[in-house]
Homo-oligomer: A and B are copies of this chain.
Amino acid sequence: MKLATLKNGSRDGKLVVVSRDLTRCTDASFLAPTLQAALDDWQRIAPHLEALAESLETGAVPSERFHENDAHSPLPRAYQWADGSAYVNHVELVRKARGATMPESFWTDPLIYQGGSDSFLAPRDPIPLVDEAHGADMEGEVAVIVGDVPLGASVEQARDAIRLLMLVNDVSLRGLIPGELAKGFGFFQGKPSSAFSPVAVTPDELGEAWDGGKVHLPLSVDLNGKPFGRANAGIDMTFDFPQLIAHAAKTRPLAAGTIIGSGTVSNKLDGGPGKPVGEGGAGYSCIAEIRMIETIADGAPKTPFMRFGDTVRIEMKDTAGHSIFGAIEQTVQRHEA
């Protein structure tokens, strides 16, 4: 099934079930007022939501037109957002650009950062930016929402806890990150509010593209209306979602509604850093990556980070070309205090 949260003036919005083709939706708030409420009591509520989704497909319940513009992020606020760096290729490239090698352990020990989860952007909300010098960048990613995961969970327990999948724009401020990471405690100001796709889907909606750990489909990232990234999320993902979840649960439980991200989707090409979409490559899911390639090739980056008015669109289509999650589409907007 496919679920979304419609804006209704409240902090958590209203839960709806969305049709497979994303054209219609039906109120699900009589089953659970919010997506978090459904996740809190998933075993009991999910079967009713599934039944409602079937009724929606057959036209057996009242429905209305689904507008992606009316959607919040599926969880407008969450109790946890933890983002992995599973495409180690991406990490290696970033380091290479600044002349640093990557420890071998990065291929065997997952890297995860704790993100802010109290105030996500809606998928069509502008990205508020105080200063272009902060270096706004998109990061196109896949994420899962889990149910309760016990402390010390095995990879198999982690796999069973995956409830929903969605896309993310993990907005990053590249101008602030180096100084912040140098302080040693990770990201804070460098990672402003993220946005998620209009729709979250259960794994079965992905059919054969979901193997229980990865999504084997290309992630479309367009910058200012032009194809920028088409990297396949199933390729070069060194750690799959169950491994990332188990890593996150090593010393503490994860509560239902925790969101775990894949990190920026990134594909190698013939063991190298890949090529832009315009040159027949899979392109990039963030600007930082093409800037690294440019730096490696020419000694300096030439693609600028996002400026006021720039637009990013992140979407994933199935093999028949239909959008699975709806599209994140955001414009960078000057923030006036």
Contacts and interface: CB of A to CB of B under 8 A. Distances in A.
A101 interface: no
Contacts of A252: 116, 119, 192-193
B188 A118 contact: no
Contact of A130 (B111, B251, B257): B251
A15 to B, nearest CB: 17
Contact of A152 (B106, B111, B335): B335
Contact of A337 (B119, B152, B247): B152
A181 interface: yes
A187 B109 CA distance: 14
Identical subunits present: 2
A257 B119 CA distance: 11
A288 interface: no
Contact of A11 (B40, B85, B190, B258): B40
Contacts of A8: none
B188 A187 contact: no
Interface stretch (A25-33, A53-61, A73-81, A319-327): A73-81
A225 B250 CA distance: 30
A108 B229 CA distance: 40
A114 B255 contact: no
Interface in A150-206: 151-152, 173, 176, 181, 183-190, 192-193
A254 interface: yes
Nearest to A10: B40
Contact of A112 (B82, B185, B258): B185
A113 interface: yes
A218 interface: no
Given A134-B251, A251-B134, A79 B118 contact: yes
Interface of A: 11, 40, 77-80, 82, 85, 103, 106, 109, 111-119, 128, 130, 134, 151-152, 173, 176, 181, 183-190, 192-193, 247-248, 250-255, 257-258, 335, 337
Given A77-B79, A82-B188, A85-B185, 9 more contacts: A79-B118, A82-B116, A113-B188, A114-B188, A118-B255, A186-B187, A188-B248, A189-B247, A193-B252
